[in-house]
Copies of this chain bind each other. A is one copy, B any other.
Amino acid sequence: PGALAAYCLMLGDDALIYAHRLSEWTSNAPDLEDDIALANISLDLLGQARLLLARAAAADPGVVPTMPEGSPVPAEDALAFFRDEAAFRNVRFVEADNGDFAVTIARLLLFATHRLALLQRLTTSVDPVLAAVAAKGVKEVTYHRDYAGRWFVTLARGTEESRRRLVAGLGTVWPMYAELSRPCEVEVAAAAQGFGVDPATLADEVDAVVEHVLATAGVDRPDVAPSGTGPLGRVGQHSEAMGPLLAVMQVVARAHPKGKW
A244 within 8 A of B: yes
Q: What is the minimal beta-carbon distance from A146 to any residue of chain B, in angstroms?
A: 33
Partner among B84, B248, B254 whose Cβ is within 8 Å of the Cβ of A248: B248
- Near B by CB (< 8 A), chain A positions 210-261 give 243-244, 246-248, 251, 254-255
Q: Report chain B residues within 8 Å CB of A251.
A: 243, 246-247, 251
Residue of B nearest to A244 (CB): B248
Can you list, as one digit per residue, whether each of A96-128 has a CB less than 8 Å from chain B (1) or not (0)? 000000000000000000000000000000000
Q: How far is the CA of A244 from the CA of B244 in the complex (A)?
A: 10
Q: What is the minimal beta-carbon distance from A166 to any residue of chain B, in angstroms?
A: 24
**Interface residue count for A (Cβ, 8 Å)?**
9
Q: Report chain B residues within 8 Å CB of A243.
A: 251
Q: What is the minimal beta-carbon distance from A136 to any residue of chain B, in angstroms?
A: 33
Residue in A244, A246, A247, A255 whose Cβ sees the most chain B Cβ within 10 Å: A247
Q: How far is the CA of A255 from the CA of B247 in the complex (A)?
A: 10
Can you list, as one digit per residue, whether each of A49-93 has a CB less than 8 Å from chain B (1) or not (0)? 000000000000000000000000000000000001000000000
Q: How far is the CA of A248 from the CA of B240 in the complex (A)?
A: 13
Q: What is the minimal beta-carbon distance from A214 to any residue of chain B, in angstroms?
A: 33
Q: Report chain B residues within 8 Å CB of A247.
A: 247-248, 251
Q: How far is the CA of A189 from the CA of B246 in the complex (A)?
A: 41
Residue of B nearest to A248 (CB): B247
Q: How far is the CA of A248 from the CA of B254 in the complex (A)?
A: 13
Q: How far is the CA of A255 from the CA of B81 in the complex (A)?
A: 13
Can you list, as one digit per residue, whether each of A187-200 has a CB less than 8 Å from chain B (1) or not (0)? 00000000000000
Beyond known contacts A243-B251, A246-B251: 8 more, CB 8 A cutoff:
A84-B255, A244-B248, A247-B247, A247-B248, A247-B251, A248-B248, A251-B251, A254-B254
Q: List 5 contacting pairs A-B, 8 Å CB cutoff, sorted by A.
A: A244-B248, A247-B247, A247-B251, A248-B248, A254-B254
